[in-house]
Chain A
Amino acid sequence: MTLSPPESGPMLDGSLIDDLVFDKVQIALQGRMLLALDTRIAPGEVLTVMGPSGSGKSTLLAFAAGFLTPAFTAGGRVCLAGREITALPAEQRGIGLLFQDPLLFPHLSVAGNLRFGLPRAVSDKAARVEAALAQIGLAGFGERDPATLSGGQQSRVALMRLLLSAPRAVLLDEPFSTLDTALRHEIRELVFGRLREAGLPSLLVTHDHADAEAAGGRIITLA
């Protein structure tokens, strides 16, 4: 199936310099067409892709992030900040990823997890980490074992770790589906607020309509 772009086709001109662009992307599994996407996501915009399980949502994220397994074949280009990243290895794409689970490294402290996100060149790492913790209301939690944090606290640390790595775009893989209802609302607000504030183009994959509404951007539905 093919998705028609909501606006005219993407172009790599100056006005789109910070956009995340999917240029005639098509993904097939063993010759069977799985999905097609041709769109661009502006800075601060969250594009939501919805669809039932098996519709290829996660495959799209894997393709954009650089983890597509060899069983899939993909065509088209992904461009970010004016350069094509389709063939780049994952760590050089500048794309951050939020998973269903916070996935805080269990062998590192909370601060260690945040430091892992910071680019090597950053000089005042300790101060940056402490400031980041304060921003999410976890000041003084640096030396804690991540396993001792609550689910909500872990999600906040995971978001901060992502932001500290200074990505140019963010992919969200049903990041709220494991949270309970009350917490889900709070974390949703936090995540989308931060992403908008940072002016990052974001792609959210979910099957929860509330997620899509909270994201407040365009919605594309896969069948």
Chain B
Amino acid sequence: MLRFAPWLITTLLVGPILAGLAMAVLPAFGYLPALGGTDFSLSPWQALFAQPGLWRSVAISFASGLVTTAISLAVVLLFLAGAFGSRLDRWIRRLISPLLSLPHAAAAFGLAFLIAPSGLLARLVSPELTSWERPPDLLIVNDPWGLALMAGLVIKEIPFLLLMSLAALHQLDAERRVAMARSLGYRPAIAWLKVVAPSLYPLIRLPAFAVIAYASSVVDVAMILGPTLPPTLAVSVLTWFNDPDLSRRFMASAGALLQLGVTAAALASWWGLECLVRRLGRGWVTGGQRHAGERALRLAGKGLILLAAVTALVGIAGLAIHSLAGFWRFPDALPQAFTWQHWQRALPSLGGPVTATLTIATASTLLALGLALAALENEQRSGRHPAQGRLASALTLLYLPLIVPQIAFLFGLVVVEALGTRPTRWLVIFGHLLFVLPYVFLSLSEAYRRFDPRWMRVALTLGATPNGAFWHVRLPMLLAPLLTAMAVGLAVSIGQYLPTLLLGAGRVPTVTTEAVALAAGGNRRLIGVWALMQASLPLIGFVIAVGLPRLLWTHRRGMRGSP
């Protein structure tokens, strides 16, 4: 049975994506009998290109993909170079998991409440510095350049790239490399950038690609922080798709394909930038320069990540304050009174979506965990180890759902729905599985592959069967990484907006879809309640992942600290 696991995973990941893309291509060229399109034509494309502001949408989506990734990656690399081993380093490392588990939408709302003209920042400096007695008429959130959107994405992508980098650094023996370079007279941060960063980047290239793809096609964050007239391409496509005029679905399909092209173009441009940086960097690495810029590098490394982390945390605090705020005049930094009223009013409607969110998250995570365990156990038993780090390995397939824009292939799957399948909770669970599985697998695989093979050998030579050894030795010993992978899976599922919305046909409300739906309304108290709820659900998983092993292994010293 185990032998089929890799095959099953590949089919599960690749099948729906190919099917979805195929089913987006047909209507994009006018063919969709269910909606009366029986002839191939270019009219959906003509309609698409006639949309006002289309190219601006395209440009912002493209730029958002590249700028977000470049800034996030730069912040992460500067931090690793400049703060290695410092107190800030330990503090940030402890913050990664909670920041990573924070859903994109909640982080976006937090940022919006912070930087809006009537937001916390403006209140803190008004009226003393600004002499604003009323919120200024500025378009900060939803700015036409998409800067707020990019900022919101950067806050969320930094922890992701940082976690991926820290995992990859295990393989690089970074400390000894830096020590060697320092003994040759290089200052620490420069040493790190010259001898570690060039080897690190190839190992985090796929995660960087995933960030580009995500940032260029994201929907929920763009609906909260992104420009509105016109919105980003992905948001436009979703609007056309939801148009009561069903014939607009042809144009929406063409738009989904255009999105695929925009993301592909962003990836290609990134690749070009990579080549450029590699060429320019080669001279710099061997140029012999040892000191210049060290202080600036260290300052930037610490300052930028601090700014991002504090922004995220203050944003969450802002959500909490808004959810409890009574009357709150503008330049006042804090509300005049606090009240539970918003929570009490929201409570009856919270129950259903919270239950749905947790059910879907638990089901998709358990499915993903089962599949990942089966594939990894098969890999161990067959003694075949996958080629890591190489682009053309099975790992690339894991990244496929993260690199193909959601909106491009989910549409195709929903077109299938229009042909007969009914939107059910199971369809949503399956849709989430596509995105949960890669993260669960990536999170679990490292611990699994590093697990000392002698443990299983001892168990087998003592007469345990392979399955017995799996259940009684490997699983208990890997409990901590297993629970972490589960927490990651839950967090990924809880944060999913587009798959829930599209595959559930809007009839499977979760905290995420409800919270994002409130964005247009602008009731900040209510948004505070829902976004805070959305932010706290994934924390449950991480609390369990940290607490349960401590509780279980109180009297097992050898199990403290990961195996």
Say yes or no: B557 contacts A148, CB within 8 Å. Answer: yes
Complex: how many Å from CA A90 to CA B3?
Answer: 19
Say yes or no: B461 contacts A103, CB within 8 Å. Answer: no
Say yes or no: A147 contacts B459, CB within 8 Å. Answer: no
A14 on the B face (CB < 8 A): no
Q: Smallest Cβ distance from B479 to chain A, in angstroms?
A: 8
Complex: how many Å from CA A145 to CA B454?
Answer: 20
Say yes or no: A105 contacts B461, CB within 8 Å. Answer: no
B462 on the A face (CB < 8 A): yes
CB within 8 A of B457: which of A67, A70, A106?
A: A67
Say yes or no: B559 contacts A65, CB within 8 Å. Answer: no
B552: nearest chain-A partner, CB-CB? A107
Complex: how many Å from CA A95 to CA B555?
Answer: 32
B455 on the A face (CB < 8 A): yes
Please, what's the 1-or-0 string for B543-563, where 1 marks a CB less than 8 Å from any CB in chain A? 000000000010111110001
B176 on the A face (CB < 8 A): no
Contact A147/B556 with A106-B477, A106-B563 known, Cβ cut-off 8 Å: yes
A164: nearest chain-B partner, CB-CB? B462
Contact A91/B458 with A105-B473, A106-B556 known, Cβ cut-off 8 Å: no
Q: Smallest Cβ distance from A89 to chain B, in angstroms?
A: 7
Complex: how many Å from CA A101 to CA B452?
Answer: 12
Q: Smallest Cβ distance from A88 to chain B, in angstroms?
A: 11
Complex: how many Å from CA A148 to CA B458?
Answer: 20
Contacts of A96 in B (CB 8 A): 461-462
Say yes or no: A162 contacts B477, CB within 8 Å. Answer: no
Contact A65/B476 with A103-B454, A145-B556 known, Cβ cut-off 8 Å: no
Please, what's the 1-or-0 string for A54-82, where 1 marks a CB less than 8 Å from any CB in chain B? 00000000000111011000000000000
Say yes or no: A145 contacts B461, CB within 8 Å. Answer: no
Complex: how many Å from CA A66 to CA B460?
Answer: 10
B278 on the A face (CB < 8 A): no
A167 on the B face (CB < 8 A): yes
Contact A91/B558 with A103-B454, A116-B459 known, Cβ cut-off 8 Å: no
Say yes or no: B463 contacts A145, CB within 8 Å. Answer: no
Complex: how many Å from CA A99 to CA B472?
Answer: 20
Contact A145/B464 with A70-B383, A103-B455, A107-B477 known, Cβ cut-off 8 Å: no
Say yes or no: A99 contacts B463, CB within 8 Å. Answer: no
B563: nearest chain-A partner, CB-CB? A106
Contacts of B382 in A (CB 8 A): 70
Q: Smallest Cβ distance from A101 to chain B, in angstroms?
A: 8
CB within 8 A of A107: which of B384, B465, B553?
A: B553
Please, what's the 1-or-0 string for A92-125, where 1 marks a CB less than 8 Å from any CB in chain B? 0101110101011111000000001101000000
Say yes or no: B461 contacts A65, CB within 8 Å. Answer: yes
Contacts of B202 in A (CB 8 A): none
Complex: how many Å from CA A66 to CA B381?
Answer: 12
Say yes or no: A117 contacts B462, CB within 8 Å. Answer: yes
Say yes or no: A116 contacts B558, CB within 8 Å. Answer: no
B466 on the A face (CB < 8 A): yes
Contacts of A162 in B (CB 8 A): 461-462
Say yes or no: A97 contacts B563, CB within 8 Å. Answer: no
Complex: how many Å from CA A115 to CA B449?
Answer: 27
Say yes or no: A103 contacts B558, CB within 8 Å. Answer: no
A153 on the B face (CB < 8 A): no
Complex: how many Å from CA A130 to CA B266?
Answer: 67
Complex: how many Å from CA A132 to CA B563?
Answer: 28
Contact A99/B383 with A91-B463, A106-B477, A106-B556 known, Cβ cut-off 8 Å: no
A107: nearest chain-B partner, CB-CB? B476
Interface residues of B in 290-329 (CB under 8 A from A): none
A156 on the B face (CB < 8 A): no
Say yes or no: B463 contacts A165, CB within 8 Å. Answer: yes
Contacts of B453 in A (CB 8 A): 67
A175 on the B face (CB < 8 A): no
CB within 8 A of B558: which of A95, A117, A145?
A: A145
Say yes or no: B466 contacts A97, CB within 8 Å. Answer: no
CB within 8 A of B458: which of A70, A89, A99?
A: A99
Contacts of A101 in B (CB 8 A): 454
Say yes or no: A119 contacts B461, CB within 8 Å. Answer: no
Contacts of B469 in A (CB 8 A): 91
A43 on the B face (CB < 8 A): no
Among A95, A99, A146, max chain B CB count under 10 A is at A99
Complex: how many Å from CA A167 to CA B473?
Answer: 20
A161 on the B face (CB < 8 A): yes
Complex: how many Å from CA A105 to CA B559?
Answer: 9
Say yes or no: A65 contacts B556, CB within 8 Å. Answer: no
Say yes or no: B559 contacts A116, CB within 8 Å. Answer: no
A69: nearest chain-B partner, CB-CB? B383
Say yes or no: B466 contacts A107, CB within 8 Å. Answer: no
A106: nearest chain-B partner, CB-CB? B558
Complex: how many Å from CA A91 to CA B466?
Answer: 8
Contacts of B555 in A (CB 8 A): 145
Complex: how many Å from CA A107 to CA B556?
Answer: 6
Contacts of A104 in B (CB 8 A): 558
Complex: how many Å from CA A20 to CA B327?
Answer: 86
Q: Smallest Cβ distance from B481 to chain A, in angstroms?
A: 14
Contacts of B457 in A (CB 8 A): 65, 67, 90, 97, 99
Complex: how many Å from CA A98 to CA B466?
Answer: 19
Contacts of A99 in B (CB 8 A): 454, 457-458
Complex: how many Å from CA A116 to CA B477?
Answer: 15
Contact A103/B557 with A91-B464, A91-B466 known, Cβ cut-off 8 Å: no
Contacts of A145 in B (CB 8 A): 555-558
Contacts of A103 in B (CB 8 A): 454-455, 458
Contacts of B463 in A (CB 8 A): 91, 117, 119, 165
Say yes or no: B462 contacts A147, CB within 8 Å. Answer: no
Contacts of A93 in B (CB 8 A): 461
21 contacts across the A-B interface (CB closer than 8 A) = A67-B453, A67-B457, A69-B383, A70-B383, A89-B466, A91-B460, A91-B461, A91-B464, A91-B465, A91-B466, A97-B457, A97-B458, A103-B454, A103-B455, A106-B477, A106-B558, A119-B463, A145-B555, A147-B558, A165-B461, A165-B462
Seen from chain B, the residues whose Cβ lies within 8 Å of a Cβ on chain A are 382-384, 453-455, 457-466, 469, 472-473, 476-477, 479, 553, 555-559, 563
Interface pairs A-B: 10 shortest CB-CB: A106-B558, A147-B557, A147-B558, A90-B460, A97-B461, A165-B462, A91-B460, A107-B476, A117-B462, A69-B383
Q: Other than A97-B461, A103-B454, give 6 A-B pairs with Cβ distance below 8 A.
A: A91-B460, A96-B461, A99-B457, A105-B459, A145-B556, A162-B461
